[in-house]
Homo-oligomer: A and B are copies of this chain.
Amino acid sequence: MTVTPRGRHAPVSEATTHRLSLLLRCLRILDGEGVGTISSRLLEERFGMNSAQIRKDLAQFGEFGVRGVGYRIPVLRDRLRGVLGLDRARIVVVAGAGNLGLALADSRNFNSPPFRVAALFDVDPAKVGTASRTGIPILAGTDIARQTQALGAEIGVVAVPAEAAGPTAAALVAGGARAIRNFAPTPLGPFRGVALKNVDLTLFLDGLSYLLAASEPAPPAPEP
């Protein structure tokens, strides 16, 4: 799915937004070090990024490079934040306080501005009323729609077992979530007006095995 955020540029693919996110992270690191400009070549050397791909991606959003100098980091960083919709706060709720939900909610990457994880939900009475390691409250899984609305959450994360994923996503949408990230091991159907992305953990291994296969001879054909 490609869309045009705010009519400011041509739609870009999810692969591109992933690369832009990674680039933005690198720019933040450099900015924190006081670096003012950087070339795509140095981005490749330092962070292992593909400099040609960087230039191609950025060309879609205007002219950022200065010949012989490189990219002006604060300018590029702010522009990427706008493109990625990161120029305003976003409340997130995570349904499921198992290992995955807790790992996400307590991650300093996941729960970091402009995103704020406001609550976890779980159906386990022993967990409800407690908090995660970093202090995120765990609320009742029966209360998802109401709490999602009360918290003003725009993004709902589904980290529950497969059999609970459908009703959980529906409750998040009922509570006003306009974007759903589904980590449950089952694809969820589309919801009208909701950006839905399924994440299959297997993909992380499948992608690697594809690369491993590149360096291997074909397996022997099975006996007829």
Q: Give the residues in chain B near A98, CB-CB below 8 Å.
A: 103
Q: Is A207 in contact with B197, judged by CB distance below 8 angstroms?
A: yes
Segment with Cβ contacts to B, from A55-63, A121-129, A143-151, A211-219? A211-219
Segment with Cβ contacts to B, from A67-75, A166-174, A185-193? A185-193
Task: Compute how far the CA of A198 lies from the CA of B207 in the bound complex, rounded to whole angstroms.
Answer: 12
Q: Is A4 in contact with B214, judged by CB distance below 8 angstroms?
A: yes
Which chain B residue lies CB-closest to A115? B205
Which chain B residue lies CB-closest to A199? B204
A135, CB-defined interface residue at 8 Å: no
Task: Compute how far the CA of A189 lies from the CA of B202 in the bound complex, rounded to whole angstroms.
Answer: 23
Q: Is A90 in contact with B200, judged by CB distance below 8 angstroms?
A: no
Which of A98, A106, A115, A202 counts the most chain B CB atoms within 10 A?
A202
Output the least CB separation between A42 and chain B (Å): 14
Which of A87, A103, A110 counts the most chain B CB atoms within 10 A?
A103
Q: Say what secondary structure dominates the interface of chain A.
A: mixed
Q: Give the residues in chain B near A219, CB-CB below 8 Å.
A: 82, 87-88
A10, CB-defined interface residue at 8 Å: no
The listed residue (B15, B25, B88, B215) touching A202 by CB distance below 8 A is B25
Given contacts A5-B210, A213-B5, A218-B6, contact A110 B204 (CB under 8 A): yes
Task: Compute how far the CA of A83 lies from the CA of B115 in the bound complex, rounded to whole angstroms.
Answer: 37
Q: Give the residues in chain B near A142, CB-CB below 8 Å.
A: none
Q: Is B15 in contact with A200, judged by CB distance below 8 angstroms?
A: no
A1, CB-defined interface residue at 8 Å: yes
Q: Is B85 in contact with A209, judged by CB distance below 8 angstroms?
A: yes
A-B contact list, 16 entries, CB within 8 Å: A3-B214, A17-B206, A18-B206, A22-B187, A24-B206, A25-B202, A26-B187, A83-B210, A85-B209, A85-B211, A85-B214, A104-B201, A109-B201, A110-B202, A155-B209, A179-B208
